[in-house]
Structure 1
């Protein structure tokens, strides 16, 4: 694969990552239209008339049941992560703390030793109380709620474009895939952090950015691939083999989350924007590398996945052919 193909794949991935912001404008409407058209033409016309008239409570309930919740879930993600979580942190750190500091300055004097001494232990104590009582509980709650909402968005988008998901053959295999996926993502974060400490700054930063871009792409595409029945080692191998496209796809999210040095604020930004990237990943058709030219940025994580998942979970021991029941 030459440089021209790599450049085009990166650009195409970058372009496709924004398609979710356009798709969301008409996604709910198409999903609702499909739900109405599943019934007979006569009933479909009657349902449309009832939904438009809004004359009674049962009709409004019917409309509520048939409407897609993609837009609603995206708005809820924005309100929870941006309107409540992020705004509370910004107001506390850039509003309340400076105000209290100024009050101490008026009381003790701006340059007084006592004022600086009192504030030196007051500020850490206030930060500790705020993060313990508010930030950590809300962060854990938002992670749980976001996971449910992200799955709801992904399932609705998948059913709209591809039909019913292909689920795992067994509950144990489904659970093992989910748990091992979390472990692999954690190991990959450690790997991305480790390469950032390479003494040559630009080399370490570039490799870390590349891996984070591909990890964000894995986050976005994993919902679709999981519904398609792809196992974890296949998902990782596919991203690694076609790294230019997925590098471009994950680049916007990596840039947005790098804007703040605070990992909490970056997490809020991620949770606000990620639903759009889920839809983008569902609608996108990745450009595959014709020569299968992998850049081994997932190693050794992908090696660990193939060693434990594909051999132990993905390919269980088969019953010998000569054994007959």
Structure 2
């Protein structure tokens, strides 16, 4: 029992260290990329015919992906930080500049009275709802779409630099894998929220936090594992068999998004800004190869539900296809 507790603490600390240290890896990689690019730079003029041919061939080799990495990762992080800052700035301007100016104009026209204050409160609700519907919500959806492209670009660039060419599946396998994974992750998030409602004080919060740590670790490592050709069920098995390590790896992001702010929007922004760095951490990390003392089957309920839903959907599609062919 004592050895198991010690191993748990050590693995959690291992995962935590890999996540935090990996976040600052981009600064070290920056130097590596500059040195690599400098070593690959063609010789100065005048160039011989052989040197020109060598430089031309270099443009078409995978080694050239180092510069692609350098120009893909850091700009994506910077662009997203600026994007999130612009959204927050627009929100602050609306609530602390636009709305007070509107109320000041109303008070100036109608005078201060109970009726005007009542109308002003209703007007504030209507304007806030309109602002959220026409500005915040579209930007929030846009940020999620940009996440997919920017995060995937970062993950692919890091993977190419560290592991070589990705083992990408065909389109149908890709769509099926991603659909199943997204559905399962949504169910697991609901499971984490329900666990938090346990009446025993502290127990529900701790188990829910472990859920979020494992979910964030799955988010981060999924890019690397997918590029390696690891299937979704195997990815989940890796998380469950080494749950202590992955709990520690996802702990920094889970704590920051859960306890820094009670606002889901602010938590989402924190996640979006830090997650690119966590992707780099996952690609730099060397996760355990030996299974932990015992697995933690937290994904088992949602895997069972997801399998049932997708198997039923697939069977229905096969029946419909066979019926169309027979007719």
Give the structure 2 partner of residue 3 of structure 1.
5
- For 1:108 and 1:202, the matched residues in 2 are separated by 52
Equivalent position of 2:121 in the other structure: 120
> What residue number does 1:216 align with?
216
Q: Partner residue of 2:233?
A: 233
- Whether 1:145 aligns to 2:142 is no
Aligned to 2:191: 191
2:80 aligned residue: 77
Distance 1:115 1:175, change over 3 A: same
Distance 1:102 1:10 in 2: 55
- Contact 1:257/1:269 (CA < 8 Å) preserved in 2? yes
1:295 matched residue in structure 2: 296
What secondary structure, in the 3-state scheme, does the structure 1 residue paired with 2:222 have? helix
Distance 1:85 1:48, change over 3 A: farther
Quick one: distance in 2 between partners of 1:278 and 1:189?
A: 20
**2:24 partner SS:** helix
1:234 CA displacement: 0.7
Residue 275 of structure 1 aligns with which residue?
276
Aligned partner of 2:287 in structure 1 is: 286
* In 1: Cα distance, 2:207 partner to 2:97 partner: 37
- Is contact 1:215–1:250 with CA below 8 Å preserved after alignment? yes
Deviates more, 1:121-130 or 1:284-293: 284-293
Larger helix percent: 2
For 1:59, the equivalent position in structure 2 comes to none
TM (norm. structure 2) is: 0.79
Match of 1:247 in 2: 247
1:263 matched to 2:260? The reply is no
The CA distance in 2 between the partners of 1:228 and 1:11, in whole Å, is 26
The CA distance in 2 between the partners of 1:238 and 1:70, in whole Å, is: 27
Cα deviations across residues 23-75 of structure 1 (Å, max 9, x unaligned)? 111324434654676x6xxxx4427999xxxxxxxxxxx99x94522111110
What are the Cα deviations for residues 154-207 of structure 1, in whole angstroms up to 9, with x where unaligned?
111111111111122x32111100111111111111111111121223122111
Q: Say if 1:236 and 1:302, in contact at 8 Å, map to a contact too.
A: no
- Aligned counterpart in structure 2 of residue 13 of structure 1, from 12, 15, 19: 15
Q: Secondary structure, in 3 states, of the residue corresponding to 1:18?
A: helix
- Structure 1: tracts of 5 or more residues without a match: 51-61, 314-325
Provide closer, same or farther for how the CA distance between residues 309 and 231 of structure 1 changes in structure 2, counting only shifts above 3 A: farther
Instruction: Name structure 2 gaps, 5 residues minimum.
Output: 48-58, 315-327
Give the aligned partner of residue 50 of structure 2.
Answer: none
SS at match of 2:167: coil
Query: How many residues in Structure 1 have an aligned counterpart in Structure 2?
Result: 293
TM-aligned CA deviation for residue 76 of structure 1: 0.7
CA distance in 1 between counterparts of 2:95 and 2:44 reads: 51
Match of 2:43 among 39, 43, 46: 46
Task: Report how far residue 103 of structure 1 moved.
Answer: 6.9
Match of 2:89 among 75, 87, 90: 87
**What is the distance in 1 between the residues matched to 2:220 and 2:44?**
35
Q: Which residue of 2 aligns with 1:55?
A: none
Secondary structure of 2:202's aligned partner? helix
Cα distance, 1:25–1:119 mapped onto 2, change above 3 Å: same
Shift of 1:305: 5.0
Is the 8 Å Cα contact of residues 155 and 224 (structure 2) preserved in structure 1? Answer: yes
Residue 268 of structure 1, CA deviation: 1.4
Tell me the equivalent position of 1:318.
none
Q: Please name the residue that 1:317 is paired with.
A: none
8 Å CA contact 2:183, 2:306 repeated in 1 = no
